[in-house]
Structure 1
Amino acid sequence: MNLTNLRHLDISGSTMLEEMPPQVGSLVNLQTLSKFFLSKDNGSRIKELKNLLNLRGELAILGLENVSDPRDAMYVNLKEIPNIEDLIMVWSEDSGNSRNQSTEIEVLKWLQPHQSLKKLEIAFYGGSKFPHWIGDPSFSKMVCLELTNCKNCTSLPALGGLPFLKELVIKGMNQVKSIGDGFYGDTANPFQSLESLRFENMAEWNNWLIPKLGHEETEALFPCLHELMIIKCPKLINLPHELPSLVVFFVKECQELEMSIPRLPLLTELIVVGSLKSWDGDVPSLTQLYIWGISRLSCLWERLAQRLMVLEDLGINECDELACLRKPGFGLENLGGLRRLWNNQGLPWSLPSSKTEVQKKF
């Protein structure tokens, strides 16, 4: 390849490309390389990244299941490429018998990036555990981390010590049953900067344990968390006892979840889709409440209705049990600040309905 002065190769929109052009590693002046593809027969070509020391911005490495020799990943030495800020590492969605767990563990271990990394995404990794570098506090610039469909991992890495982590997304971790001390790390004040947290498709997750500092339960957990999303976690039964900064809470299809946070002082928006076992908590700032598809609506409503003193927007859709809204003490008479109501057909009111704003959230 006679393009040694080439600085930008943007193939971010390619959908049919299966492998990199020959001798791409000779493009030593390359600064932009949005994707690096590894084919089934050419997994060893990952070594060509070794020479691309000027890469910067975003890099996605796809087809990592094709790296059969972990020494090829070791040769890359991503720690020597300091200007990559956004790193995406993707294995195949196919988790067939050809996948080797021990090889994938070693490959991910040797692909440790430079500590200047700001964003990291790992998808379809087939190892049973994560290497120690993921969550190491030395990654002091990390602000966004996403772990997706790493279905063989039985535990999450220690992420609580990342000092400036603001956004964390964890999806499809089917083998994780409990989240406990190992998730928070060794720091005395875990997740000090986290603002947005999302758990999704955690089929076996049933217990969210709260770390203890010394002999007392920590009060510093998630002090900056503004947005929490819990989606399709059907066995989860509990949440942290205190979320003092939570503003938006979205919960969907969590049939066993018992909401027992005594007080959510800043919560302004609550969206509940599908089942929720129970609710018991004070929400003095709640202005927007949207409820979708709850068959036993009274279990939720009777706990909330007398506490919704500043509610402005109320949406109820696809809820079979609606009679509770007409009970004395549990109905709309408590909602003096209500400005807008939308509903599905069959509700006992003839008020204007507008679903557009709410549907954008789903």
Structure 2
Amino acid sequence: MMKVRHLAVAPDVSLQRFGPISKAIHLRSLLTLPGRSFPSLSNEVVNNVILKLRCFRILSLSGCRNLEPLSDSIGELKHLRFLDLSCTSIKRLPNSVSMLCNLQTLKLSGCVELMELPEDMYHLINLRHLDISACSNLNVMPRQISDLKSLQTLSTFIVGEDNGTKIEELRELSDLHGELSLQNLQNVASATDASEARTPALRELKLGVCAKLRLEELPQKAESIHIGGNNGVESLIEAINKGQNSFLKKVHIQNCCSAITLLPECLPTKLTELEIKCCKKLEFPMQRSHKSSSIRRVTIRDSCDSLRFFPLDFVPNLISLDICNCENLESLGVSSYGDGMLRYLSAISIYGCPNFASFPKGGLHAPNLTKLRVDGGKKLKKLPEQMRNLLPFLNSLEISNCPQLESFPEGGLPSNLNKLCVRNCPKLIAQRMKFVMSPSFRVAEHDNALQAALSTGAPQVISITSLGSKSRHSIGISFM
């Protein structure tokens, strides 16, 4: 045992098996398997056996739920470079952790009982990675966090009250990159404080509802920004409209009641995902196509009261469109110029839009569309024309709560359709027999419930799902 250098601990190892470990005086790494619980690694075993070994470079005690409190002797592991205490029951780290001068990585994610970090943590001058994500009871950062000049990744930064940690301390962490979540932004005292938090290497920035925060400028290389609250959204849109940050790929904005305009022509050319939620007064004018746009996914929910018409060819590379609870949306369409073909569009979902009434005139020419869902279109009377020809790969069609919808399109539905769900569409259901008995479709022979319902003319067929038959013309149908 004395020659053992590396050891992995299984979750079912018995307490007695840890006795010989005390002889492994040259042990350099001890790992618990990730995602597991280790009841046998009790506080007694850790403090009286494991922490007596002084040559550790790597120590993972992740998942040790009985680990509380942790002995001060951990500060004597002078060679330790990697310490993983994630998903443990610790409430406080001993201040002796601050003496681990060679520590480079400290993982504390999922320590839901953790309340504070070591006060003198700024002594960890070689610390590069600190993960304190999902530590719900941790409300303060250690003092002088800005002294950790080597820090490269920081999962979460908690803004302190009054004399606590200030957001401008982020400015001193010039090597910080990756994803950063900011908490307690209600403690940001002024816009000046916020502008001091320059983090040029950040790739992803998430900001909650921040009543006082304004972004004077965007992180120079940020690829993803999630932001909520009036001032935050306003300042972000102002920055986008000025053409700042050409690296942005994802923009998620929410919870803004201000009357502001997002100029489509100013969107970053690399932007692939745009999500707008709970921004009722946001103006998003879409008069012409932007051929240089890279946008693939657009989500608009509870927003854009002025939106009545959405031109599907507004962005030529659109793959997914999700519009929910936009009360004034009346139609989807295409521009008058171009061939009207939506080459990349694969999914459309229109939900909770009571004034939605029409699809593009002449049909929805989307050869790669596989999913179409409409729910709550109270004025919708017709599905897209020529579905059988223009939507050859459509395999899922869901229509719900469209009381005025009268019939399926002439020519029938696409031959690749394998899931059809109709709910609360009384006029359409009345026509179901004409559709279902079309020669283009047949019911899978083994589905007796559906066969019986059709043969008796029952008013409802409930909970029939996709059948997965060998025949590509077989279809699962749900009428409700």
TM (norm. structure 2) is 0.59
> Offset at 1:159?
6.3
Contact 1:173 1:202 in 2 (8 A): yes
How do residues 1-362 of structure 1 correspond to structure 2 at under 5 angstroms? Answer: 1-41=122-162, 45-78=166-199, 81-82=200-201, 84-92=202-210, 99=211, 104=213, 107-110=214-217, 112-114=218-220, 116-126=221-231, 129-131=234-236, 132-134=238-240, 137=243, 139-156=245-262, 158=264, 161-176=267-282, 178-180=283-285, 189=290, 192-202=293-303, 204-208=305-309, 221-241=314-334, 242=340, 244-245=342-343, 246-261=345-360, 262-266=363-367, 267-278=369-380, 279-283=383-387, 284=390, 285-296=392-403, 298-299=405-406, 302-304=407-409, 306-319=411-424, 321=426, 322-326=429-433, 328=434, 331-334=435-438, 336-337=440-441, 348=459, 353-354=464-465
CA offsets, 1:4-52, max 9 Å, x none?
Answer: 2111111112222223221111111101111112245368700100100
CA offsets, 1:279-336, max 9 Å, x none?
Answer: 444432252233253151634xx2536341324223325325121213x4xx223461
- Label 1:166 to 1:281 Cα distance change in 2 as closer, same or farther (>3 A): farther
Give the whole-Å Cα distance in 2 for the aligned partners of 1:235 and 1:75. 41
How high is the sequence identity, in percent, across the aligned residues?
Answer: 22
- Label 1:164 to 1:356 Cα distance change in 2 as closer, same or farther (>3 A): farther
**RMSD (Å) for aligned C-alpha atoms:** 3.5
> Offset at 1:253?
0.9
Contact 2:305 2:328 in 1 (8 A): yes
- Label 1:350 to 1:109 Cα distance change in 2 as closer, same or farther (>3 A): closer
The amino acid across from 2:246 in the alignment is S
- Label 1:145 to 1:315 Cα distance change in 2 as closer, same or farther (>3 A): same
- Label 1:89 to 1:190 Cα distance change in 2 as closer, same or farther (>3 A): farther
- Label 1:316 to 1:52 Cα distance change in 2 as closer, same or farther (>3 A): same
The amino acid across from 2:347 in the alignment is V
> Offset at 1:199?
0.8
Max Rg structure:
2
The amino acid across from 1:259 in the alignment is S
Say which SS state the counterpart of residue 357 (structure 2) adopts.
strand
Structure of greater relative contact order (alpha carbons < 8 Å, 6+ residues apart): 1
User: Greater strand percent: which structure?
Assistant: 1
> Offset at 1:160?
5.0
The amino acid across from 2:145 in the alignment is V
Give the whole-Å Cα distance in 1 for the aligned partners of 2:194 and 2:249. 25
Give the whole-Å Cα distance in 2 for the aligned partners of 1:128 and 1:31. 27
CA offsets, 1:185-208, max 9 Å, x none?
Answer: xxx835621111111122734434
> Offset at 1:244?
1.0
